[in-house]
């Protein structure tokens, strides 16, 4: 009998609805934006808190700095920011989102259907014992996130993502090999929770490092992870219903292999992504104007 996941996903639906209502009320949604903006932008707030003598700066000096700010919440997704961007710029966003699509999808489908897999053949675990598996999985995800904090000081984000993706793939392979072992099911569940725990923050930090904290990396990655967690649960549930419980581990193995493949593509596009130039940084409009010895403003 297939047990549908009860992880509280439906209970989280009021949260995005409330956030959208708040954005709409504050006129921060581009489709419904009006001329009056009740909230100060980040640059306006910074200028309000600056000392009074900086108000005497010429308007020509202040204008480039104000123009470089974020007009609204979705300013990173405006088409003008994509002009002149290379294909590797988009490839980094897409491959990073696909990695999290798979890994966060694995988190959702494994936590949702591990109970159903355990109580059916060939394991036939007692229902009370099988109920500990989702708790064990989420417990080791929490433990892994605590462990990853000191580890991140000594290890690069790219290395952490590589270890996590390879660890997920190897864990599913061993779960398939020892598919008749109840003990290894618990060991594999704990191992999978550890490897999946720091994948999202490490991937986010790695992608932001590649893009020099420019672009829509956070938006794209969070969206990809959320869609993957929703879609893969539906997909795996349908496959288990048609093919049986053994397909649960096969799906996890396939998703882990796809996550590793997309990460390999991300490494490839990272090598091809143009490195930032110091000359371009000096001429950047985001760099504040400074006064030289002659009293003229320079960048």
Q: pLDDT digits over 128-146, tens only?
A: 999 999 999 999 999 999 9
How far is the CA of 137 from the CAs of 160, 205, 223, 242, 277, in angstroms? 20, 24, 23, 25, 44
Q: Does 179 reside within a domain?
A: yes
Work out the percent of the chain whose per-residue pLDDT is above 70: 64
Q: Is residue 275 within 8 Å of residue 94, measured between CB atoms?
A: no
Q: Per-residue pLDDT tens for 218-256?
A: 888 888 999 999 999 999 999 998 988 889 999 999 999
Tokens representing 70 are 């974020």
Tokens representing 168 are 């997920």
Report the pLDDT value the prediction gives residue 80, as an integer from 0 to 100: 54
Which CATH number do you get for residue 193? 1.20.1250.20
Q: Does residue 4 surpass a pLDDT of 50?
A: no
Q: Which pTM was predicted?
A: 0.69
Q: How far is Cα 141 from Cα 298, in angstroms, rounded to an integer?
A: 50
- Count structural domains, the chain: 1
Backbone torsions φ then ψ of 290, nearest 5 degrees: -125, 160
Q: Does 256 reside within a domain?
A: yes
Q: Does 155 reside within a domain?
A: yes
CB atoms within 10 A of CB 50: 11
Domain span at residue 101? 87-272
């Amino acid at each position: 009998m297939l047990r549908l996941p009860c992880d509280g996903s439906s209970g989280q639906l009021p949260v995005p609805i409330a956030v959208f209502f708040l954005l709409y009320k504050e006129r921060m949604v581009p489709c419904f934006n009006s001329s009056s903006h009740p909230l100060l932008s980040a640059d306006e707030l910074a200028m309000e808190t600056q000392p009074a003598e900086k108000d005497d700066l010429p308007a020509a000096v202040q204008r480039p700095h104000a123009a470089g700010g974020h007009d609204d919440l979705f300013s990173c997704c405006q088409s003008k920011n994509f002009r002149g961007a290379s294909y590797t710029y988009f490839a980094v966003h897409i491959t990073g989102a696909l990695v999290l699509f798979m890994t966060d999808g694995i988190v959702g489908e494994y936590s949702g259907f591990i109970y159903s897999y355990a109580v059916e053949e060939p394991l036939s675990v007692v229902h009370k014992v099988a109920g500990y598996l989702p708790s064990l999985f989420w417990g080791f995800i929490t433990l892994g996130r605590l462990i990853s904090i000191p580890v991140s000081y000594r290890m690069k984000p790219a290395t952490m993502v590589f270890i996590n993706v390879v660890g997920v793939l190897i864990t599913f392979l061993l779960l398939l090999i020892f598919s008749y072992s109840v003990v290894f099911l618990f060991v594999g569940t704990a191992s999978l929770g550890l490897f999946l725990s720091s994948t999202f923050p490490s991937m986010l930090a790695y992608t932001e490092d590649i893009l020099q904290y420019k672009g829509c990396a956070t938006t794209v990655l969070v969206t990809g992870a959320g869609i993957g967690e929703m879609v893969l649960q539906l997909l795996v549930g349908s496959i288990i219903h048609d093919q049986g419980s053994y397909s649960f581990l096969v799906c996890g193995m396939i998703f882990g292999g796809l996550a590793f493949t997309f990460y390999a593509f991300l490494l490839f596009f990272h090598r091809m992504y143009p490195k930032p130039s110091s000359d371009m940084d000096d001429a950047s409009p985001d760099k504040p104007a400074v006064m030289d010895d002659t009293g003229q403003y320079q960048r």
